[in-house]
Amino acid sequence: MSDASEGVGLDTLGVGDRVELTFPARGDLVVLARLVSSAISARAGFDIEELEDLRLAVGELCLLALQGSDAHHGELRLEFTCTDEALDISCTLVSDGPALDAWSGGAEALQLSEQILAALVDEHGRDDQDGMVRAWLRKRRRGPLA
């Protein structure tokens, strides 16, 4: 099945594979994002510790994107893309309502999410274009981060 490396042995996702999950932009549904994240990481060559890291990181991506939400409108669109060396994940708040202040959650909340992402993934960032808040991360396989 797999190459019997340290991964959890379900590697069935390959380069170029893309998975997308869209759900109402509410905190009570962020659990869906984490669930899919775990299933995908397990199939994209990550070991169990990395899989848990990604589950936490994806939740924080959602929180960063939700900061621009009034919690009652819009959708979160999560995209997973496998490249030859990494898993790229982005979370975009898609809302047709008026764009709120993007970081209404406050500096402290933002800071904790940033600390978590900085520790767990190789690259991450956020941008805010035309009222669409997008947070993203890149996690390399057997990456150099502890």
Ligand X SMILES: Nc1ncnc2c1ncn2[C@@H]1O[C@H](COP(=O)(O)OP(=O)(O)O)[C@@H](O)[C@H]1O
| Residues in touch with other proteins (CB under 8 A) | 8-9, 12, 27-31, 34, 42, 48, 52, 55-56, 59-60, 62-63, 66, 108-109, 112-113, 115-116, 119-120
Which residues on adjacent β-strands are paired with residue 24? Answer: 75
Smallest gap from residue 145 Cβ to other proteins (A)? 11
* Closest C-alpha to 78, from 44, 37, 116: 37
SS3 state at 52:
helix
* Closest C-alpha to 42, from 15, 7, 18, 17: 7
The one-letter code for the residue type at 131 is: G
Residues near ligand X, by CB under 6 A: 108-109, 112
Q: Which is nearer to a copy of itself, 76 or 117 (CB)?
A: 76
Partner interacting with residue 18 (select from ligand X, a copy of itself, other proteins, none; CB below 5-8 Å by kind): a copy of itself
